[in-house]
Amino acid sequence: MRPERIKEEVSRLGLSEKLMLVEDIWDSIAASNLEIPMSKWQKQELDRRYKEYKEEKLELHEWEGIHNDLREKYK
């Protein structure tokens, strides 16, 4: 199906149906994440961060705190 046709069909959906479709699309992307190319430097950076995490060298923050800080910053 062509992208224009897909957009047309999606525009006919209700909000809850659109949200379920988006979730399904993200799930399909996540399931095929091995197909997403990653540069050498990205892989090295992820490996470095994971190593620091495993060695407990990172300062971790709760999501709620970060979320609140961002909301305050961008009011």
Residue pLDDT, tens place only, 14-25: 999 999 999 999
Taking alpha carbons only, the member of 36, 31, 11, 33 closest to residue 21 is 11
User: Which pLDDT score, from 0 to 100, does residue 4 have?
Assistant: 93
User: Which pLDDT score, from 0 to 100, does residue 22 have?
Assistant: 96
In sequence order, which residues have a C-beta less than 8 Å from that of residue 52 and are 6 or more positions away? 58
Give the pLDDT band (50/70/90) at residue 60.
confident
Average of per-residue pLDDT values in the chain = 91
Contact 58, 49 (CB under 8 A): yes
Per-residue model confidence as pLDDT tens digits over 29-44? 888 877 778 899 999 9
Question: In the chain, where are the structural domains located?
Answer: 1-36, 37-75
pTM of the model: 0.46
3-state helix/strand/coil string of 37-74: CCCHHHHHHHHHHHHHHHCCCCCCCCHHHHHHHHHHHC
Contact 13, 21 (CB under 8 A): yes
